[in-house]
Amino acid sequence: MENKKGKIRKAGFTLVELLLVLVILATLAAIVVPKFTRRSEQARITAARTDIANLEVALDTFEIDVGRFPTTEEGLQALVEAPADTPNWKGPYIKRGVPKDPWGNPYQYKCPGDHNPNGYDLFSFGPDGREGGNDDIDNWSAQ
């Protein structure tokens, strides 16, 4: 390209133009990325609720066959392998083994439960991996 004085000018972007593009991209990323992060966390919470519901079905089937829920000591493993002295066990009640919650921690099981004294408490510690803190996902709260 030639300018008015006849000198050849090289085509390309100036530093200011490149910085402007970077600022626009950073602004868009700052707006979009948090929306996706919240979505993935919500998906994990939904997955944990679904796992708990599926485990409840398996536990109820175990109780129908055996006449009781697994003890706290037997835990959720009783849905995969027959505990001692359970002649009516017709499992496995879950096919792929006891799942972990979406954050990689084991689901917590207690029978009899503190919140369900005639049944069991089944819960995940949620995103923070610790009990309490209003992010636990359980089978006794209205969700």
For the chain, the domains span 15-138
Structure token digits, residue 142: 């209205």
Question: Pairing between strand 121-124 and 108-110?
Answer: antiparallel
Structure token digits, residue 76: 């959720």
Q: What's the distance, CA 38 to chain centroid?
A: 12
Distance CA 20, CA 15 (A): 9
The model's pLDDT over 77-115, given as tens digits with 9 standing for 90+, comes to 999 999 998 999 998 999 889 999 999 999 999 999 999
The model's pLDDT over 48-64, given as tens digits with 9 standing for 90+, comes to 999 999 999 999 999 99
pTM (global) more than 0.75: no
Distance CA 56, CA 61 (A): 9
Report the CATH fold assignment for 15-138.
Glycoprotein, Type 4 Pilin (3.30.700)
Nearest alpha-carbon partner for 135 in 103, 113, 111: 103
